[in-house]
Amino acid sequence: MAITLNENEFVTIQKLIFQEVGIDLQSSKRLLVQSRLLKRLLYYKFDNYLDYIRLIQVKNTEKIEMINLITTNETYFFREIDHFEFLQKQIIPNHPFKKKFRFWSAAASVGAEAYSIAMLLDRSMAKGDWEVVGTDINTEVIKKARIGLYPEKWADKIPIELKKEYCLKGRGRHEGQFLMDRSLVENMDFTVGNLMKYNSEVGKFDVIWLRNVLIYFDDATKQLVVDNVMRNLHVGGYFFISLTENLNMLNTASLESVATSVYRKIK
């Protein structure tokens, strides 16, 4: 018999997700939430979602598991290629190499964006001149990002010369997968981070990408998240959002638009 997530149970989960990570789950997502959490009900042998809701309110590890299941989003290498071209042509050539170039993938998921950037930086700079930090609220995707092992089909969008240099073809039990070259990992750090809070531990950056995440927030939460992230960006640094997103209705007095979905911090 199918287990249905009723309206009241969904509203409770909506409130929990908003409180924890700021994501505004729309009513249209009820079936998605139902399907993603079903495996946890079966694991605990629950026959209703109310018992599961009671569990996550008292068991923090299960609450984290619930957040992980609901916040897993699509990602792939070199997504929105225009941004990578802007980085290569406008930002990297003009960076003063007297200091380390620091890049933050603020919604890193399983690390495809961060590794895409790392390949470009490693090609353009000396080993000690760059660092890429990736953060995400989802603890499971951060574990995967640290490993850097991906399905072979994910390499389709990686430029051929970068694929040859940095993507190690899997063999044996890793047949059909590829591993990111360990030389990149030396200059990278993946850690769990909640955008609802200012992250003082990651430090300041020259470039921050916060792409394909603002669409999940209401305007007030967008403002909070952008304000938090801006505190980590050097004046003169660059801030990227997705080509499908905008900062309309937000206070962006500290930013100037320099290209589509690309901003520069001016104060």
As annotated, the active-site residues are 36, 136
Nearest to 104 by CA among 127, 136, 68: 136
Residue 84: CB partners within 8 Å, gap ≥ 6? Answer: 78, 116, 117, 120
With H, G, I as helix, E, B as strand and everything else as coil, classify residue 258: strand
The Cα–Cα gap between 225 and 204 comes to 16
Label residues 66-88 b or e (16+ Cβ within 10 Å = b): bbbbbbeeebbbbbbeebbebbe
Residue 95: CB partners within 8 Å, gap ≥ 6? Answer: 101, 206
Nearest to 167 by CA among 224, 119, 221, 99: 119
Residue with tokens 């959490």: 37
